[in-house]
Amino acid sequence: MEDPRRCIPRTDALLELPEVRQWEESLGRRRVRDLIRATQEAARRAEIAVEEVEPRLLEALRTSRGSTLRPVINATGVIIHTNLGRAPLGQAAVEAVVQAAGYVDLEMDLTTGSRSSRGEAARAALRHRCPEAEEVLIVNNGAAALMLAAAALAPATEIIISRGELIEIGAGFRLTELMASTGAVLREVGTTNRTHREDYASAIGPQTGILMKVHPSNYRIEGFTAEATTEELSEVAAAHQVPLVVDIGSGLLAPEPLLPAEPDAASMLQAGADVVIASGDKLLGGPQAGIVLGRSEAVRRMARHPMARAVRADKLTLAALEATLQAGQNPVQSSLHADLHSVRQRTEHLAAELDVTVVSHDGRVGGGGGAGVPLPGCALALPEAVAPALRLGEPAVLPRLAEGACLVDLRCVPVDRDAELLRALRHALGSA
């Protein structure tokens, strides 16, 4: 009897199928060939029947992506989820990225045919949203902005910083080590819980390069505490003619009533900061970017430093950031200001369809913003065992595990994905 595996379709025959050829443009010939080989190997190992090779290949092509990154429905209630790429871009930013993927006038004045300034439109949009800034600069992330400030404004000199602001963020990354890597020497003042204006003033000497104030955005110190305000530090810095750099972290350009303790760029500049540093992919709701706003002389010193070329933002970032700034509203803002009545109605509808309960659940800002601030809401309460099936399903859904339950919070889930989420939940419940 002839081995049926001899009948496995040949690679060239599969490549000639019209349904296969149409995928070559989007996935690339190499990727298509890899999927063909993988399907053929599955048939050789008798994992699938020979007659299943073609339909399995077509299914693999339909579900394949150019990147291994998988889209995820964020059902955790955490708006800026670092493990999910922080801020999701708004539609205007997504369209801007697609448009910028080809040739664009990034550094070209099409009117004169001469070279132009890179990212000027994005910087103009940033100045428009934060008119308190005399000058702005955009680099590839917040850490790069902080490193550039240390290198350009305090070259091989001292940076004075409070002991209560020696921050470590995710994956063991310490801002202090980043600044020290530029050759600057950190001079710690005050104590963990209390640092006063006088601590900074008494520490200033001939080697002082900058005064640094860092917002502890991912934790809070409560109780017997004190910190020098930006206004106080600006007076000290001006008296000794050294720049004051404030890293606000989360990316607010103006005050946010829901987060009164979260500093914003406009307020810090009004209070006297020479340079304010923020991230683009947090509460601003844009792409990963380091945003620098401040006095013209200080920001231009940073822009002229050789390191500025190494950390400059690419065209996709500039396009997405400009679109985000011009649009104003974005998914982060929508989730932060979610209509709780609407969210509860949607949640109760899904609960009725699935015959599960609805429980109270507090969302979070996430991403090192609004530390400890609850965002009241609700969630579906499912068995804890459902979580793996949700994460590995299509689409992938990330819930929150708490108190022995799998919680599905709709705060960050767009309304037009409710039907898709319902199907994923039904499938996961059936699998579990």
Domain at 257, CATH number = 3.40.640.10
Please indicate, yes or no, whether residues 361 and 380 belong to a single structural domain of this protein.
Answer: yes
Q: What digits encode the pLDDT tens for the residues 350-365? A: 999 999 999 999 999 9
Residue 2, both tokens: 């002839």
If you compute the radius of gyration of the chain from its CA atoms, what whole number of angstroms results? 26
The pLDDT of residue 346 is: 98
3-state secondary structure of 139: strand
The pLDDT of residue 223 is: 87
Please indicate, yes or no, whether residues 197 and 306 belong to a single structural domain of this protein.
Answer: yes
The pLDDT of residue 136 is: 98
Residues in the chain, pLDDT under 70: 1-2, 171
Please indicate, yes or no, whether residues 44 and 163 belong to a single structural domain of this protein.
Answer: no
Query: Total domain count for the chain?
Result: 3
Please indicate, yes or no, whether residues 26 and 97 belong to a single structural domain of this protein.
Answer: no
Please indicate, yes or no, whether residues 120 and 216 belong to a single structural domain of this protein.
Answer: yes
Q: DSSP string of 300-319?
A: HHHHHSTHHHHTB--HHHHH
Note down the domain range covering 244: 91-327
Give helix 29-44 / helix 18-27 axis angle, nearest 10°.
Answer: 130
Give helix 91-100 / helix 315-327 axis angle, nearest 10°.
Answer: 150
Q: What digits encode the pLDDT tens for the residues 115-169? A: 999 999 999 999 999 999 999 999 999 999 999 999 999 888 999 999 998 888 7
The pLDDT of residue 356 is: 97
DSSP annotation of 330: -
State pTM to two decimals: 0.89
Please indicate, yes or no, whether residues 266 and 346 belong to a single structural domain of this protein.
Answer: no
DSSP annotation of 366: B
The residue among 288, 306, 327 that closes a domain is 327
The pLDDT of residue 251 is: 86
The pLDDT of residue 431 is: 82
Other CB atoms within a 10 A radius of the CB of residue 393 amount to 17
The pLDDT of residue 208 is: 95
Please indicate, yes or no, whether residues 76 and 101 belong to a single structural domain of this protein.
Answer: no
Please indicate, yes or no, whether residues 127 and 236 belong to a single structural domain of this protein.
Answer: yes
Provide the CATH number for the domain around residue 426.
Answer: 3.90.1150.180
Please indicate, yes or no, whether residues 304 and 266 belong to a single structural domain of this protein.
Answer: yes
Other CB atoms within a 10 A radius of the CB of residue 229 amount to 12
Q: Which amino acid is at 194?
A: R
Please indicate, yes or no, whether residues 345 and 317 belong to a single structural domain of this protein.
Answer: no
Where b means 16+ CB within 10 Å and e means fewer, 90-121 reads: bebbeebbeebeeeeeeeeeeeeeeeeebbeb
Residue with tokens 């708490």: 402
List, in order, residues 6 or more apart from 350 with CB less than 8 Å away.
380, 408, 410, 418, 421, 422, 425
Please indicate, yes or no, whether residues 145 and 257 belong to a single structural domain of this protein.
Answer: yes
Please indicate, yes or no, whether residues 79 and 47 belong to a single structural domain of this protein.
Answer: no
The pLDDT of residue 2 is: 61
